[in-house]
Every structure is written in C-alpha cells, then in structure tokens.
Amino acid sequence: MEIDKHMRKVIDHLWGPTGSVILHIIIVILLIKLLVFKHQSDANVTVQMVEMEMVDIDKLDEVLDELEDVNEMEDIEPPLEDAPPDPSQFEDTPEMDITELEVDTNFDGPLVLKDLFASRSSSGRRDGLNKYSDKWGRYTEPAVLLALDWLKEHQIKDGNRAGSWKPEGKFKNEEHYVAMAGIGLLAFLAHGETTGSEKYGETVELAIKYLRTRQEETGSNGAFCRLNQHGVYAHGIATYAMSEAYALTRIPYLEEVMNGAVRKIVRGQQAGGGWDYKYSKGGRRDTSVASWQIQALKAAFMAGCEVDGLKNAIKKASKDLKTNYMESGDFRYSNSRKSQCSTSMGALCLQLIGHGRDDQVLGAIKNMKDEQCKWEPNQGTWAMYKWYYLTQAKFHSGGNTWKQWNNDFAPAYIENQSKDGHWDPPTMVKKGHSERVVGPAFTTSLGALTLQVYYRFLPTYKEGALKKIEIDVDEDVIDEDIIIDII
C-alpha cells in the first residue's frame, strides 16, 4: 500500500509538466490540421455536369457548304441576267467594296518578281479596282470571270492543238492557233491565274504546253510557227504570253522557251528599230507588228530575261516609234500611212518602255481625246483591237483623260457582253480582214484583257509605282541612254 502511494506521488509529480507539453503539442497539431483543411477547402472547384446539346450533322454540313460558297468567286452572279443594263442606272452607283470579288489562287507561290505583278493577286486586284475603276469594278470583274469561264469551256481539250482556241474564217493555219493560244493565255495570266490555280490551272497548263510543243516542233530557232505575214504577229503574242508565264510561275523550262523566242524577235528587228512581215529587213516597217514585239520584249525584260541584245532592241524600238510620229498627233502604221489602231499602239508602246511623258505620247493622247467606245458598225473593222490599246494608253496617262474614257468604255463592254460570257465585235463585216472573221475566242480574250486594265499593270504615271533601271548599251550603236519604267 505504501508502495502504491509512493508511485502515485511520482506520477502526479511528473504529469504536471509532461501533461502540459503533451497538451500543447496536441493543440499545435490541431491548429496545423485546421489551417491545411481551410486552404484545401478554399481551393476546391465546383464542377457542374451539363447535358450536351446534340448537333444535327446534316445542318452542320449545310453551314459548311454555305461558308465555302462565300469564298468562291464563281458564285458571284453577273449583273446582266436578262438584259443589258441601261448606262443611266450607273450614274448614282455608290462606292463599292470589292472584297466580295476576291478569288483564292495559287498566286503566292514561287513568284520572285512580286513587286512587278503584285497587282494581279487577289488583294492587288481588289486594290486596283477600288483605286481606278470608280463605280465600274462591281460590274467589270464579274464580266471578266464570265469571259474566263467561256474561254475555259471553249479551249481545245484534245488532239495536237489542245490548249489553243479555234480561230474562224480564213484564219485556220497553225500560226493562227498559236496567236489564239497566246492571247487566251494572256487573259488568264492577267488575272493572276497560274498552273496552280484551282479553277483555271488546267486551262493555263494546256495553253503553255501547246506553245512549248509548237516551239519544239519548229526546230531550234525559237519560233512558235512559220514567220510569214501572220506568223510574226503570232510569234510576238506567244512570246509575250510565255514571258509572263515564266515570270508568274518560275517553271524552269519556260526560261529557255522565253529566251529562244526573244532571240528570234531581236534578230528579226530592222537596223532602224522596227519590224515587218516575215521579219523582213527591207524599207517597210509595220507599227502593228512592232507593237506585239515590243510588248513581248518588255514582258521578257520584266521576267529577268538576259538574252544578248534585248536591252538594245528596246532602245532601238523607242527611237523607231518616235520617227513614226507625225505632226498631226498620229503614229504611222507603215511608211506614211496611218491606221485606226496605229496611234494608240505607238502611244502605249512608248509608255511601256519608259517614254510616257515624251512629247510624242502626250501629242497622241491629246489627238485621241474625242475617241468613243460605241458598239456600232461604223467603229471600224478592228474596233476591239484598237480599244485594247487605247484603254491601256489612257489608263497610263491618268487624270481626266482616263476618267472620261473609263466612263465610256466600261459600260459599253458590260452592256455588250453576251450572256454566256463572250463578246462579238461591233463590226458586222463577215469577210476579209476583220476581228469578227477571226472569231469570238480572239475578241473575248481582248475583251477580258481590256477590262483587266485596272490591275494588270500599275499605271506608269504613278511616281511611287515606278522602279527605274538604266540600260547600258553599246555606245557605238546608239548614243543616248534610255530609262525603262518597270511597273
């Protein structure tokens, strides 16, 4: 009993301080637990389960189809459904937004000369239409697409002429098919269409292959066809088209095609700087023949062609054109004779090779101030051919000259386009030499090119749009330097 009492005293003595320590430890532990629990409870996220709404897959497909349709240029309905519009209805047309006219193409591919052809991209076309078409772009661009659709549909698809378009009347020789392939191809290239374009790529590729094959079949001299009276026209047009095709696509084999064709033009030039039928070196020179050679050489120069004599040929051509200018403000067609197209040809070609501010061009533009675009038989047998040059010449002049012509030619082309997209020229002549005899593929290509003036090239009068390159030439051949405006 004594022992028990003694043990109880010992335990009571020890419990005082020990119990106090244990109690404090327990309190601390509880506080820690409480703090941890509070932090975790504050971090909790309440998740609410919601029943998902099921989407009707058929309706989703319909929505996606509608979105795709918005981006397709081909779904833009041309404004001419039942009858040509009355020009008076356009007088109060508000400013347009061209964004709905944008087309997706493969333009942003291997183009190295983007500054030269940037206006042919979807954004470039939109900008050009907004800046230069005034109120007409909302009508001209659908007209261009309708024309391209017609050309696509009517292109020859098989046989040894696949890629060209059928000429009519007496124009049925191979050189005429070469010219058709060239002018048709130019219409697609002017819109920025290449072999990679979704809608028109096959059309472009067929035309390129046809012209390449034609050059190969003529031998190694670079010509696309026989260089007879019509053949020199065809060769110039085809060279122009293949030079642009190379610039836009950078397809390697096209460089040699372009170079061979350019050599033929350079060698066919007369000593004075002009060109004639069959590339004759006699006393006659032909402004109409020269115009296609000059356009081809300019396109090749823009594409980076380095054929010997190219730059000198351009310089000689400018001198020859100026000697063809008359005090009346006209350019001669041949010798002392003028034609309905020669003045606009001379003016445009000088503009394209850097002489747009020279007296001869200013005089020609002034001389053509009263020209009108009327779809009437009295306009002459090559009215659309003349308007192709005249429209570009006035565009590059700018100012009121361009504004007045733009308000004249644009509604005329819109009104007189057939419902299926092609153009018949105003002349009713069905025999002899006339554009009606050549056929609708020719006039439709010209029509599309004319309406593409707003973005095909930047206007040469725009100082900020010009990049000037000096051409170094043999001073023993020509004394003065030339400045080429690269647009």
- 151-178 pLDDT per residue, tens: 999 999 999 999 999 998 777 899 999 9
357 has pLDDT over 50: yes
Is 83 a domain residue? no
Distance between CA atoms of residues 119 and 302, nearest Å? 14
348's CB contacts (< 8 A; 6+ apart) are 291, 389, 392, 393, 396
**pLDDT digits over 257-304, tens only?**
999 999 999 999 999 999 999 999 998 999 999 999 999 999 999 999
Q: Are 147 and 448 in contact (CB under 8 A)?
A: yes
Indicate the length of the chain as a whole number: 487
Side chain identity at 268, as an amino acid letter? G
Counting the structural domains of the chain, the total is: 1
Instruction: Give domain status of residue 71, yes or no.
Output: no
Q: How far apart are CA 98 and CA 123, in angstroms?
A: 9
Q: Is 193 left (phi over 0), alpha (psi -120 to 50) or beta?
A: beta
pTM of the model: 0.75
pLDDT computed for residue 325 by the predictor: 94
Instruction: Decide if 441 contacts 180 (C-beta within 8 A).
Output: yes
Range of the domain at 318: 105-465
What is the CATH number for 173? 1.50.10.20
Q: Residue 416: inside a domain, yes or no?
A: yes
Contact 235, 269 (CB under 8 A): no
442: Cα within 13 Å, side-chain hemisphere: 24
Please report whether residue 4 resides in a domain: no
In this structure, is residue 229 part of a structural domain? yes
Distance CA 446, CA 456 (A): 13
Neighbours of 449 (CB within 10 A): 22
Cα–Cα dist 310/484, whole Å: 12
Domain contains 479 = no
pLDDT, tens digit (0-9, with 9 covering 90-100), for 27-72: 656 655 555 444 444 444 344 443 434 434 344 344 334 434 433 3
Q: 208 lies in a domain?
A: yes
- Asked if residue 168 is part of any domain, the answer here is yes
pLDDT tens, residue by residue, 67-116 = 344 333 333 344 444 444 444 444 443 344 433 333 323 333 333 344 56
